[in-house]
Structure 1
Amino acid sequence: MDKNQLGIQYMQDGKWEEAAKAFNEAIEEDPINPVGYINFGNVLTAVGEEDKALKFYQKAIELDENAAAAYYSTGNLYFNQERYQEASKMFQTAMEKGLQTADNFFMLGLSLIQLDQYRLALPFIQRSVELEPSDAEAHFQYGMCLARLELLDDAKEQFEECIILDPDHSDAFYNLGVAFGLKDETEKAMEMFNKALEIQPDHVLAAYAKKVFEQGAE
C-alpha cells in the first residue's frame, strides 16, 4: 500500500505515531511531492502541534503553489485558533486553486459568519448544503445566516431540515422557536423552546425565551 494511504488509514484508526511514521517515509521516498507534507501536517494538527504543522503546510505550498489541500488545512488550523480573517483567505485560496468541496465551502462560509459577514457567507454556506444535503450543521448555519439577513421563512426551512437530519440539535429547535415567535406564532414557538430544553435542560437561551413568552401570555 502507498505510504500516504497507509498513513491516512492509521489516522482514521487514531494511531498517530504510526501515521506520522508512514508520512515521514512517504516524504523520504518522494521529497518533492507536497501530499506527504500535507498529511504529516494534518497529523501534527491533530495532536496539537500546530506551529510545526504550519511549517509542513508551507513546505507543501512551496513545492506546489496549487496544492489546494495545503491551503484548506492551513485554513482549518487558523480557524481553530480563532484567526478567522486569515482562515477565510486560506479557504478562498483553496477554492480558487480548485478545491470545490462541501467542506471547503462550509468552512469559508463559517469563517465569514464568525466575522459577522453574513451576506458574504451566504452563497458559500448555500453551496455546501447543495453539495452535501445530508449535513445537518450546514443546514443550521445556512439557517442562521438567513435569519441574520431577516429572511425568516427561508431560515425556518433550513432549521426544520436540520432537525429532520439531527433530531437532537437543540440550537436548531431554539432558533426555530425564535423564528416562530417573530412571526407571532407563540404556541409553536413555545413548543420549540420546550423541545430544545428537553434535549438540553441547561439551554440558557431557550429557558430565557420560554420565560419571556410565558410572561407575555399572562
Structure 2
Amino acid sequence: MLIVAFTLLLIITKCKGKSRAAMTLYGLSVTTILLYFGLRRAAGATGVTTNGTMTSFGLFFWKYLGWMVLPIHMSMERSTDTPPPGWSRNALAAWLCLALACAVLMIVCRKIPRLRIGFAWMGLGLLPFCGIVFIYQGMAERYTYVASMGLALIIVVIGVESRVRWRPFVLGLIAVWGLWGIYRLETRIADWSDAARLYRHSLEATPRSAKLHYDLGAILEERKDFARASCEYKKAVGLEPSYEPALAGLGNVDLNLGRANEASRIFQKALQLKPDDVKTITNYGTALQALGKIDAAKTQYKRAITLAPHSDDAYCDLGVLLFRTGDTDNAVRQFLNAAEMNPDDPIPLFNLAAIYQKSGRPDLAMKLYTRVLQLNPGDADASSALQSLIRHN
C-alpha cells in the first residue's frame, strides 16, 4: 500500500500540475498494488481478519518517533512494548500531544515549505504501523526504517534553512546526533557478534520479554553456566507461567545439576502443557532413570521413539538404560538404530565400541573408535580407548 502513497508524494513534489509522465507513473504504481491483491486472491491467501485500533495511535507514534530520534536501548523482540488497546489517560494524552504537534508543524511548514515533504514521508512511513493496521507481533524497530528517511530529510532542511548566525550551532547538534547514531549502530553490530550479549542488551529495553529471558537461558545452558541459566529460565516462567520451553529448560538445568527429583517434577509440568515435546519426554526419562525408576524411564524413551522415530536421542538413552540393566543385546540394537538414523552422530558409535570392547570384540571396537575420531577428532575418551586397544592387540 505504501508504494501508491510514496509514488503520489513523489509526483506532487516533482511535477507542478498534471503531466502525462506523472499520471503514467501513478497508474503503474496502482496497477502494481492491484496485481498484488489479484495474485493473493488467485493463490488463495487469506489476510488477518482482526482490525486495528485508533485509540493507541498516539502511543505508537511517540514510541516510534523516540526510537528514531534517540535510540538508547534497542531490542530484537518488542512485543511486550506494544501499547494496550482502548482509551486510557496515557492514550488520550498522547493524542492531545500529537494534535498540538500537528498544529505547531502547520505553522512551521508555512515558514519553511520544504519541511512538508519530510513530514509527509515520515507520516506515511509510520501510519500503517501505529495501530491502524493489525500486525500480529505488535511493534518492531524495523518499522521505522522507511519513516526515518523522512526524519533525516527534515533534519537536513532545518540545517539548510536555519539563520546564518544559528547555523553553526544547528549543524553542530546535527553532527552530535549523527555521531550518536554511528555509536549506536556500532554497538548493535557488536551485540550481534555474541548471542548472550545480544539477548542481555535487548532485555535492558524489554525486561518483561519471557522469550528473551528464555533465549538467554538457553545460551547460558549451552555454555554450561547452569546457575545463571536457571535464573533466566525462572524469570521467563515468572513472566509467563505456562511458557513450556522455559519450564523444560529449567528441568534440564536441574537434571545437569544432579537434582533429578526437581527435574522430574518440572518435566511433568512442562509435558502437561505440551505432551508431544520429544526432547522433554526423553529428558524426563533420563530423570526417572536417575531416580531408579527403570520401567517408567523405558516407557518415556519408547514414547519418544514413537513420536520421533527418526531421531537418535531416545534410541541412545534407551540403549544406555538397557546396557546398565544387563540387556546387552537389546542395547546394541538400540545403538545400531540410533547410528542408522544419524550416521554422523559419534555418541551411539562410541557406546557400541565400548560394548564391543567389553565383549571381547576388539576389531569391531577399533573400527568404531576410529569412526568416532573422524567425526569428532577432539574426543579424548575415544582416543584413549583406541590407543589402549592398539597396545593390547
Equivalent residue of 2:392, what SS? helix
Contact 1:125 1:141 in 2 (8 A): yes
The amino acid of 2:367's aligned partner reads E
Identify unmatched segments of 5+ residues in structure 1: 3-15, 30-38, 62-66
- Cα deviations by residue, 1:103-137 (Å, 9 ceiling, x for unpaired): 33112123345x36472433212211111011122
TM superposition shift of 1:76? 1.3
**1:73 and 2:131 equivalent?**
no
Q: Give the match for residue 5 of structure 1.
A: none
Q: Give the match for residue 22 of structure 1.
A: 79
Going from structure 1 to structure 2, the CA distance change for 1:98 and 1:165 (only over 3 Å counts) comes to closer
Q: Give the match for residue 237 of structure 2.
A: 57
- Cα deviations by residue, 1:157-215 (Å, 9 ceiling, x for unpaired): 22112222222222221111112223322221221111112222232222222233333
Contact 1:75 1:89 in 2 (8 A): no
Q: How many residues align?
A: 185
- Cα deviations by residue, 1:12-43 (Å, 9 ceiling, x for unpaired): xxxx9343x225549x56xxxxxxxxx94233
Q: Give the match for residue 362 of structure 2.
A: 186
**1:162 and 2:338 equivalent?**
yes
TM superposition shift of 1:141? 2.0
Q: Which moved more, 1:79-88 or 1:181-190?
A: 79-88
Contact 2:339 2:345 in 1 (8 A): yes
Q: Give the match for residue 314 of structure 2.
A: 138
Going from structure 1 to structure 2, the CA distance change for 1:100 and 1:184 (only over 3 Å counts) comes to same
The amino acid of 1:124's aligned partner reads Q
Percent identical residues: 18
Contact 2:335 2:349 in 1 (8 A): yes
Q: How far apart are the structure 2 equivalents of 1:53 and 1:93?
A: 14
RMSD: 3.1
Q: Give the match for residue 175 of structure 1.
A: 351
TM superposition shift of 1:151? 1.6
TM-score under structure 1 length normalisation: 0.69
The amino acid of 1:144's aligned partner reads V
Equivalent residue of 2:75, what SS? helix
Contact 1:74 1:87 in 2 (8 A): no
TM-score under structure 2 length normalisation: 0.41
Contact 1:186 1:213 in 2 (8 A): yes
Q: Give the match for residue 279 of structure 2.
A: 103
Q: Give the match for residue 206 of structure 1.
A: 382
Contact 2:210 2:239 in 1 (8 A): no
Contact 2:350 2:368 in 1 (8 A): yes
The amino acid of 2:248's aligned partner reads G
Q: How far apart are the structure 2 equivalents of 1:111 and 1:180?
A: 27
The amino acid of 1:57's aligned partner reads V
- What is the 5 A alignment of 1:85-104? 85=260, 86-96=262-272, 99-104=275-280
**1:153 and 2:211 equivalent?**
no
Contact 1:42 1:53 in 2 (8 A): no
- Cα deviations by residue, 1:55-98 (Å, 9 ceiling, x for unpaired): 4424544xxxxx4x54x532312423634432221112333566
Q: How far apart are the structure 2 equivalents of 1:40 and 1:153?
A: 49
Q: How far apart are the structure 1 equivalents of 2:336 and 2:355?
A: 11
Q: How far apart are the structure 1 equivalents of 2:266 and 2:377?
A: 38
Equivalent residue of 2:287, what SS? helix
Q: How far apart are the structure 2 equivalents of 1:157 and 1:200?
A: 23
Q: Give the match for residue 45 of structure 1.
A: 214
The amino acid of 1:151's aligned partner reads D
Identify unmatched segments of 5+ residues in structure 2: 1-47, 50-73, 86-207, 218-227
The amino acid of 2:303's aligned partner reads R
TM superposition shift of 1:53? 4.4
